Amino acid sequence: MRDISFLGRGWSFPVMFLDTGTKMSEFEEDIHESLRILLMTYPGERTMRPDFGCRLRDYCFESYSLRLITLIQSEVRRAILMNEPRVDVENVNVMESEKKEVLKVEVVYVVRSTNSRMNLVFPFYLNEATDASI
């Protein structure tokens, strides 16, 4: 079995406490969770790392268009390049889902140290924090 401990270990997300202590995530799972946290964090939310995050919220309430797809792809690539040194992004795909208010952002990435190809599908809500049924 190959040693992949160098990929990292951290608290799982969302944080869970067990009888034995805090639930931890390791290796590729830790990277996957780190990417989700990065995409959900807006720059400036972390006091000690004000540049950490992704400006996806800037695109809420935008109409689905080629311009929006390009902006989201660019922002996701920038955020990962600047904040997650363990991976190389191969591709970012933005697709409409069955629900018109949700876009699927698929990030295909390679873990640098193991050359493992992985992907993350992140739901992006165009009408975040709204309830159209009210």
Sorting pLDDT into bands at 50, 70 and 90, what band is 134? very low
Is 134 a domain residue? no
Please count the structural domains in the chain. Answer: 1
> What Cα–Cα distance (Å) separates residue 82 from each residue in 9, 85, 88?
20, 7, 11
Question: Quick check: 35 pLDDT over 70?
Answer: yes
Q: Which value, to the nearest 10 degrees, does the dihedral of the CA atoms of residues 122, 76, 79, 53 take?
A: -50
Buried b (16+ CB within 10 A) or exposed e, 111-130: beeeeeebebebebebeeee
Q: Which domain holds residue 93?
A: 5-125
Is 130 a domain residue? no
Q: Tell me if 58 sits within 8 A of 44, measured CB to CB.
A: no
- Name the residue with higher pLDDT: 89 or 124: 89
3-state secondary structure of 106: strand
Overall average pLDDT of the 69-84 stretch:
97
Overall average pLDDT of the 96-116 stretch:
90
